Amino acid sequence: MGIKNKLKTGAVKIGAKTATKLMTTLSEEKWMKLVHPLIARQKMPEAALMIDLMLRRLHRGFPTLAKNVKERFIQNFIVKPYTTYGPRRKAFYEENGYEVPSLLVISPSMRCNLRCYGCYAWKYKKSDDLDIDVVHRVINEAKEMGIFFFVISGGEPTFWPHLFEVLETHNDAIFQIYTNGTLIDEKMADRFAEVGNALPCISVEGFEKETDERRGKGTFQKISNAMDLLREKGVIFGFSATATRYNNELIVSDEFVDYFIEKGIYIGWYFNYIPIGKDPDLDLMPTPEQRDYRRKRIIELRDKKKAVLADFWNDGILTNGCLAGGYEYMHVIYNGDVEPCVFAHFAADNIKEKSLKEIIESPFFMAFRKRRPYNENLLRPCTIIDNPHILRDAVKEGNAHPTHDGAETIITTIAPKIDEYAKKWGEVADRAWKEEYENKTYKGHLDLVEEVMNPKAAKKKKKIEEKMEVEVK
């Protein structure tokens, strides 16, 4: 009997809560055997490694997680993708001929209690929020298609008055929340533990000096306290770090990662600074050499510390390239405009006027997807800074407009500088691609992939190799 039938019949026979409780008592070996199909079905081998890390980290956290957190994450992340969302995704594909995106990002408000330099949220208007009825409608549409993972961004989500209403109403989905963390007090941490289906990711720039420089004096201490509260209350949480020319090396140091592992993080996200808006500062962008250093270090840190770390710009090898344009996700902003990516501030359609499906099938989003793959080198995935002609062509073809004042500079006034960066990064990335992936020199990495994807075959292969070594000796 396959995992889908096991999960479905098991949950029916003994009840979802009892099934969840039993899962949390499994040894790591039995737990990984149960969830192995989630790993094996990944399209990209490297993605299998990441899912393996995530599931092992979740298992390690079971003893300290709040009851509702364990129940929601197991049901919504492990069980329902098979019993509910999987069948919906399959039906959608059979009817429409294309895959449903994996996630949806919503920024219902651009209001924030901080003003951090270089943050794109301050480029948008703050006068209006997306109507809560529209938010519910969009999430329901997405769930009907088979999307169960949502990201709430902004602005500051914890500053938005409807956050917990959304979490409670849609308790059959998982919500990752990008937050500055400064408003998370004991009461809010208790609410996160109670709803159980939220994963707050708190923004950091480094340690106290770097974080307070960008976010304001005292911010680091507030977010440090917030992480302590979330850990104590049994909430799954993580960090989010924006790499600039000035903190790139620090945020991938052993010291930095060890600090946040000790804090109890489940995941760490890395984002490359992107020059957006009226007066973009290109000098904040990490150099191509710095970006490559970060890429290599994150791979090392994942392997050495078994930490779940993901780089939005450098992990194209995990995701088969760029996710934008409805291929794997899209971004609904405060006024209903739908952007192809949270960093590509252009839109041709509005969610108040069209359905999610209509927007995915729109000329603007199709202009992205029909050009895939943007580059044979998956270390060059981005349409904004790696393959900038893609964004320009798609905006023109889709008749898209900037979603805030100055958004157009990325394809107009600073376009020559972006082209220069893309060329330099291309040289670095092509060399890395040839050395590390085309020539398959990362054998140890490939062995690990095989071990995760097909543990029985890997174990058998290892025994044969050990026997051969003995015979040779």
Query: Quick one: 337 and 204 in the same domain?
Result: yes
Query: Quick one: 249 and 347 in the same domain?
Result: yes
Single residue among 81, 101, 134 that ends a domain in this structure: 81
Query: Quick one: 137 and 186 in the same domain?
Result: yes
- pLDDT reading at 412 higher than 50: yes
Query: Quick one: 68 and 151 in the same domain?
Result: no
Q: What kind and span of H or E run contains 179? A: strand 174-179
Query: Quick one: 186 and 335 in the same domain?
Result: yes
Query: Quick one: 98 and 77 in the same domain?
Result: no
Single residue among 345, 360, 375 that ends a domain in this structure: 360
- pLDDT reading at 186 higher than 70: yes
Burial class for 376, CB neighbours closer than 10 Å (0-12, 13-18, 19+): exposed
The CA distance from 147 to 92, in Å, is 11
pLDDT band at 67 (very low <50, low <70, confident <90, very high): very high
Q: What are phi and psi of 238, to 5 degrees?
A: -150, -170
Put simply, whether the predicted model's pTM sits higher than 0.75 gets the answer yes
Q: Is residue 392 part of a domain?
A: no
Query: Quick one: 70 and 124 in the same domain?
Result: no
pLDDT band at 37 (very low <50, low <70, confident <90, very high): confident
Contacts of 350 (CB under 8 A, 6+ apart): 335, 336, 337, 338
Tens of pLDDT, residue by residue over 443-461, are 444 455 556 556 665 566 5
Q: How far is CA 41 from the centre of its chain?
A: 18
Tell me if the bond preceding 373 is cis, omega within 30° of 0.
Answer: yes
Tens of pLDDT, residue by residue over 393-406, are 999 999 999 999 99
The stretch 229-238 carries a mean pLDDT of 99
Position 441: which residue type? T
Q: How far is CA 9 from the centre of its chain?
A: 31
Query: Quick one: 53 and 137 in the same domain?
Result: no
pLDDT band at 276 (very low <50, low <70, confident <90, very high): confident
Q: What three-state secondary structure class fits 473?
A: coil
Query: Quick one: 331 and 447 in the same domain?
Result: no
Query: Quick one: 242 and 355 in the same domain?
Result: yes
Count up the domains in the chain and report the number.
Answer: 3
Which domain, by its residues, includes 312? 92-360
